[in-house]
Amino acid sequence: MDIQPYTTSETLSVGRPWLMSMLGIETNETITLDLTAFDQNVHWMEASKYQPERKLKSGIPLAKNSTTGLWEPYAAVTNEVQSVTVTGAPTGGTFTLTYSGQTTASIAYNATAAAVQSALEALSNVNPGDIVVTGNAGGPYTLTFGGQYLGDNVAQLTATASLTGGTTPGVTVATTTGGGTPTASDGTQIFRGFLFTEVSFYPGSTKAGAPLLVHGQIDPSKLPVAFDPKDIPAGSNTQFVYKV
């Protein structure tokens, strides 16, 4: 089993940029994942139409479901999820998003998810990792809150549209999952470790073996989803540091 951090000769973007040191630990625990419990928009690598194989991102915080015995995403808190949808099939124009009194610069009607995320991160009240935006160019976009808003029931964004073409174009915002306190009671509310490697699987698969990282030095800003270091159990050898 590969348990070494990626070296400078490897591509960190598809490896483990969040792992800074193994702290001398030589083995990891082998676990079985419940693939049906992972969110395609949050936990999967971007898929190619030429490659049917899917991948889960390394660094996902994990917990063990006490009922099934399988491992799922750690669910200590519910993170807010909102959707932004461009309606009316516009052919031009822009829109803005406002969050807690701060308004973005103009966003193109057919902007990529990355462009929408960049516009939000330019706000004074949004840091990198606070809002992760996924979806196709032109939307609909899925906004998952984390970082300083981890587990918070945040205010819903509002949108102002200046769109052209189409039929009565506009932008709608909806809260699809309200943030809040822990709701799980099946064991997934107890953090157990991080997914150590990317995990490949094919459509239709429901389970996959994987290595669990239980010790190490972690850069939380590089994890694929927001994680609060306070959730590490007392006595754990996991440490959190930030790259500069």
pLDDT at 151: 77
Please give the full DSSP string across 153-184, using - where no structure is assigned: -PPPPEEEEEEESSSS-EEEEEEEE--BS---
The dihedral formed by the CA atoms of 145, 200, 195 and 39, expressed in degrees to the nearest 10: 30
Count other C-beta atoms under 10 Å from residue 206's C-beta: 11
**Strands 158-164 and 193-195, how do they pair?**
unpaired
Q: Are 218 and 232 in contact (CB under 8 A)?
A: no
User: Residue with structure tokens 């936990």?
Assistant: 43
What is the per-residue pLDDT for 3?
A: 35
* 30 within 8 A of 211, measured Cβ to Cβ: yes
Q: Which pLDDT score, from 0 to 100, does residue 174 have?
A: 96
Q: What is the pLDDT of residue 129?
A: 80
Tokens representing 51 are: 């490659």
Pairwise CA distance, residues 123 & 117, whole Å: 10
Helices (H) and strands (E) in the chain, counts: 2, 18
**Digitized pLDDT (tens) for each residue of the chain, 244 residues in all:** 233 333 333 334 447 888 887 765 545 689 999 999 998 777 887 666 666 788 899 999 999 999 999 999 998 777 899 999 999 999 999 999 999 999 999 999 999 999 999 999 999 999 888 899 999 999 999 999 887 787 788 999 999 999 999 999 999 999 998 887 666 789 998 899 899 989 989 888 999 999 998 888 888 878 888 787 878 887 777 888 765 5
So what's the pLDDT on residue 232? 83
> Which of 109, 101, 136, 130 has its CA nearest to residue 118?
130
**pTM to 2 decimals?**
0.59
Six token digits for residue 209 = 């073996």
Separation CA 95–CA 198 (nearest Å):
36
Domain 12-76+184-240 indexed as CATH 2.60.40: no
DSSP state for residue 100 in the 8-state scheme: T
